[in-house]
Amino acid sequence: MNKTNQPLVSVLMTVYNREAFIAEAIESVLESDYPNFELIIVDDCSKDNSVAIAKKYAEQDDRVKVYVNETNLGDYPNRNQAAAYAKGKYIKYLDADDIMYPHCLPVMVRSMETFPDAGFGLCAIFPDPKTTYPVMLNSHDTYMEHFNGYAHFHRAPGSSIILKEAFDKVGRFSGERMIGDTDLWFRIAMYYPMVKVSSHLYWDRTHDDQERSSDYAKKEYPRLRKMVLERYFNHKDCPLSKEEIEQINKNKKRLDQKNMLLSVVKKMLLR
């Protein structure tokens, strides 16, 4: 298929003090097997050489565009800022300390194009022995799978590909610290089907200079997850019945333990 016949994908890379990793992240996008993309890099007032490194790549490849915020916006507001520059049918986040494998974009785009009604796709944590990928779930089944051990809504932005139209219609990221991705998955899944995409498409690097490793995360993340859960259980458009919500709440302790185990295992897996 010719490049012009494939939908444009906007790869969005938000940056804050990532000079040690950003070159490798950019090169992983440029080495993609999928040809029709733009790479939008938005720096959030870094104090290191991140911008200078990014601009060198922009000088060499016109698919790379670099923007620098006038003030520091923070993580999720900066993700929204990056999306504001996007021209693609789909947006694909890649953090500046992660790596995209060459087959990531073609697999994700084909998965979404297979199901035109879908609003977003998320990489599965584990292979599902009951089906091949990709597979589309309606809103109800996406929610139910999340609460039955699949933990879809605990996925990081890098595991996703999102229909730009759907992203805009549901109001983008809320801007809330730490929990913005979980909130978006709950919200977008209320109104759009989700595609389960195969795993091992990118590498989610783990290092000490990440918010998920911070004292704030260790202290506040359980509370924030509970807050989002209550928000969408009480939402007028929640796809679950009252009876299903009651059953989920009864099993909450067991499910929390299972999801905690999944989160630990997820950090050990290559994406």
**What is 109-163 written as a DSSP string?**
HHHHHH-TT-SEEEE-SS--TT-PSPEEE-HHHHHHHIIIII-GGG--GGGEEEE
With pLDDT > 90 as the criterion, what percentage of the chain qualifies?
73
Q: Which helix (H) or strand (E) holds 15?
A: strand 9-15
Helices then strands (H, E): number in the chain?
10, 10
Q: Cis omega (within 30 of 0) on the bond before 157?
A: no
Kindly indicate the confidence band of residue 184, based on its pLDDT and cuts at 50, 70 and 90.
very high
CA–CA distance, 101 with 271 (Å, rounded to integer): 9
Tell how far CA 100 is from the center of its chain.
13
Placement of tokens 């996925």 in the chain: 155
Dihedral over Cα of 58, 25, 178, 147: its sign: positive
Half-sphere exposure of 153 toward its Cβ, with a 13 Å CA cutoff? Answer: 25
Predicted pLDDT at 209: 67
Angle (deg, nearest 10), helices 215-233 and 180-191:
20
Contact indicator for 8, 86 with CB cutoff of 8 Å: no
Bridge partners (DSSP) of residue 197 are 123
Q: Does residue 126 surpass a pLDDT of 50?
A: yes
Predicted pLDDT at 207: 62
Burial of 1: CB neighbours in 10 Å, binned 0-12, 13-18, 19+: exposed
- The strand ranges marked E within 168-265 are 194-197, 202-203
The region of weakest confidence among 42-46, 134-138, 211-215 is 211-215
Pairing of strands 160-163, 135-137: unpaired
User: Which tens digits make up the pLDDT trace of 202-220?
Assistant: 988 776 666 666 666 677 8
CA–CA distance, 13 with 82 (Å, rounded to integer): 7
Placement of tokens 């990081």 in the chain: 156
Contact indicator for 196, 114 with CB cutoff of 8 Å: no
Bridge partners (DSSP) of residue 93 are 12
Q: Where do the domains of the chain lie, and which CATH numbers do they carry?
A: 7-268 (3.90.550.10)
User: Which tens digits make up the pLDDT trace of 219-262?
Assistant: 787 888 899 999 999 999 999 999 999 999 888 766 566 666 76
Kindly indicate the confidence band of residue 129, based on its pLDDT and cuts at 50, 70 and 90.
confident
DSSP secondary structure, 164-185, as one string? HHHHHHTTS----TTTHHHHHH
Rounded to the nearest integer, the mean pLDDT of the chain is 90
Burial of 201: CB neighbours in 10 Å, binned 0-12, 13-18, 19+: buried
